[in-house]
Amino acid sequence: MQRTFEEQGFVVLKGFFDARVMNAVRAEAEAIAERVVRRFHAEGALPETYADLPFDRRLVPVYRQLGPHAPALFNQELHTAGFFDFFFHPGLLDLAESFLGHEVRLYPNYYLRPKIPGDDAFRVLWHQDAAYTDSYKAGGDVDVLRTVNCWASLVPARRANGCMQFIPGTHRLGLAPYTKQKHYLEIDRAHLDPHLPRAIDIETDPGDVVLFHNMLFHQGLPNQTETIRWSIDWRYQDATQPTLRPSNGHLARTRGDERAVRSAQDWIARACA
């Protein structure tokens, strides 16, 4: 697996998370969506709570009415028991440890994303994750950041509803020049176009996890269906390295000290840390 990761820049692990873990995460995501709707309804910004809509449609009318005022990403909301079992899954941390060494942190940008249908703001342009860290201009070399980046969908992710696309092998090209566009950073076309014919769809089902290099060229396609493509993206890093970001994330594995996140209660208490 590490060899595939080194050669291709990614690996897809089918059926990695069991139904218990995925059902719990989905229930947490449903609760987050419920709170969003209820908050805006209580503030008078929504005429109703759309309680009869299923999870993969509930937020559609919310975004139609509130546009950029509706949250596009959730981060601190993920400090719940269900997400503890997901981010700190022992088998996944074993894998992260085998890639990164004995000191592993959950990197600060861990997100739950509802990719809303037909809204261009949710199309994630071709980028390298390392460019986002680079854009903080914290100094330091993002080439040596040492992360394993992860992505999983809570619903089937297909080309039509905006799965990710990867260009295998591009993690070896170093950090490409990029430009800040309205919503996202984008790799400059002169550096991207020669590689585009090799782009492949990364289609996943709930339970699958995708591991990819922080230099891999990738994008999130637009969602052209009627339903929301819910997904989670997160990263593990060698915790002996600096994050090169304003925050430190959370220690997940370490030898012999007590600072690592140990339990769901501990994880819940660390919101906003």
Ligand X SMILES: O=C(O)CCC(=O)C(=O)O
Binding site for ligand X (CB under 6 A): 113, 115, 124, 129, 151, 162, 164, 218, 220, 231, 233
CA angle 72, 74, 79 (to 5 degrees): 175
Nearest alpha carbon to residue 132 among 109, 151, 111: 109
Please, which residue, 62 or 215, has the CB nearer to ligand X?
Answer: 215
- Owner of token pair 């981010």: 87
Please, which residue, 108 or 220, has the CB nearer to ligand X?
Answer: 220
Q: How far apart are CA 200 and CA 181, in angstroms?
A: 23
Please, which residue, 89 or 113, has the CB nearer to ligand X?
Answer: 113
What's the residue count for the chain?
273
In the complex, what is the shortest distance from the CB of residue 38 to ligand X, in angstroms, rounded to a whole number? Answer: 25
Q: Which residue, judged by CB position, is nearest to ligand X in the bound state?
A: 220
In the complex, what is the shortest distance from the CB of residue 185 to ligand X, in angstroms, rounded to a whole number? Answer: 10
What tokens appear for 13 in the block? 């692990």
- Owner of token pair 């546009």: 67
Runs of H (alpha helix) within 145-199? 189-192
In the complex, what is the shortest distance from the CB of residue 244 to ligand X, in angstroms, rounded to a whole number? Answer: 16
Q: How far apart are CA 116 and CA 152, in angstroms?
A: 16
Please, which residue, 84 or 184, has the CB nearer to ligand X?
Answer: 184
In the complex, what is the shortest distance from the CB of residue 44 to ligand X, in angstroms, rounded to a whole number? Answer: 31
Please, which residue, 8 or 260, has the CB nearer to ligand X?
Answer: 8
In the complex, what is the shortest distance from the CB of residue 35 to ligand X, in angstroms, rounded to a whole number? Answer: 22
Q: How far apart are CA 228 and CA 177, in angstroms?
A: 32
Please, which residue, 121 or 264, has the CB nearer to ligand X?
Answer: 121
Please, which residue, 231 or 243, has the CB nearer to ligand X?
Answer: 231
Cβ neighbours of residue 108 closer than 8 Å, sequence gap 6 or more: 243, 245, 246, 247, 248, 249
Nearest alpha carbon to residue 123 among 218, 58, 190, 10: 218
Judge contact between 209 and 91, C-beta under 8 A: no
Q: How far apart are CA 33 and CA 26, in angstroms?
A: 11
In the complex, what is the shortest distance from the CB of residue 178 to ligand X, in angstroms, rounded to a whole number? Answer: 13
In the complex, what is the shortest distance from the CB of residue 115 to ligand X, in angstroms, rounded to a whole number? Answer: 6
